Amino acid sequence: MNTVVTLNENSPLVRIVCSQCQQVILEHNGKTDTVPLMNISKPLPGVIKADAHTVPFNHFHVSTGHLDFSQSIAKGVLPQFDQFTIQKHLGSGGTGNVYLAENESKELVAIKLLRKPENPEMLEYFIREAQILFEMDHPNIVRLKGQGNFQGSPYIVMEYIKGKSLEYVLKKKRLPPLNATNIVYHVLKALKHAYQFQVIHRDIKPGNILLTSQGEVKVIDLGLCKIVDDTYNITNTGQVMGTMFYMPPEQFVDSKRVDHCSDIYATGATLYHALSGVPPYEEYSDDVQKLLEAKSKDIYIPLEERHQDIPPGLINITKKAMAHSPKDRYSHPQEMRESLSIVYKQLAEQLSS
């Protein structure tokens, strides 16, 4: 059992010490090597609860490097760690590398390994993602299956989604309005569920939306998410997170002050991309300063000028979602979903007639 030492009786922050070797596993001292913890209503598998905060139970010593299986995979060698056999590299998220793996039951899973385990901020993002995934169980959000720590490299185990990202699909062609509407509708279902837990994603974009072979829509990469009213802000003021094309203008000014209206904007920008084949502000992609200036002044090529066949209803929905001022956007994912539902029915009727 690990020993829990409260740093301050007036503070919920704790230091977790290994009872066997007395080494500090996780701590927050307000200065260096800090890993603030967060409240959740139920514990992760394999964790202990301490002072209403949840921390990994397994020995969370961190290494000074990170595991990288790419060279072994390139040589045709399938690496093994814990009870998993790595099959191939799937991609990289905001906090780590993702691999396809097979467990002892021959089930395919997705393993995300923390890229920089020695970085306390990255470690917190990683722990936060595992906690949020376990807290939220929804068909449009990728599910957590477990977590662990191998040779100082923390990892989480997620359900393996067989399919392609929306980003991959959009590199080949833009989507028909009916398809684009359906995908964004399900993204909004995921966001509505997340907001019930006061969770903001902060990085909605085509690369974080998976389309399964069964036609399901899954939102992934919650590592950049923010807990509303979270006392432990881990993004410094002025530090820009997320992807620039889809980020609302206020997120550039102060990335830790975003709220649900920021996700609404990013969802609208994703819909813009799906309908037009290019992201908004794509015309400024070669000059970051011009892109920032255009964002601040709300200057981009209108959706109706990209293609003439985009339904006016979807143009209006996209404009409202991407309104420069948060107060002019949809007030809630459900409100945007209701608008999309009306247009979807109209489009379906037109196709069937």
Task: Give, as one character, the DSSP assignment of residue 16.
Answer: E
In the structure encoding, which two tokens stand for residue 158, read together?
């997620």
Question: Residue 15: beta bridge partners?
Answer: 5
Distance CA 257, CA 247 (A): 13
Q: Which residues contact 100 (CB under 8 A, 6 or more apart)?
A: 86, 87, 88, 89, 90, 108, 109, 110, 111, 160
In the structure encoding, which two tokens stand for residue 71, read together?
């060279």
Distance CA 159, CA 50 (A): 28
Q: Which of 210, 212, 231 is nearest to 222 (CA)?
A: 210
203 part of the active site: yes
- 3-state SS, residue 145: strand
In contact, 131 and 144? CB cutoff 8 Å: no
CA 31 to chain centre: 27
Angle, CA of 22, 48 and 79, to the nearest 5°: 80
In the structure encoding, which two tokens stand for residue 215, read together?
């036609």
Identify the active-site residue in 33, 51, 82, 203.
Answer: 203
Question: Residue 103: beta bridge partners?
Answer: none
* Stretch (H or E) spanning 351: helix 333-352
Q: Which of 319, 300, 297, 318 is nearest to 249 (CA)?
A: 297
Q: Which sequence positions are flagged as catalytic?
A: 203
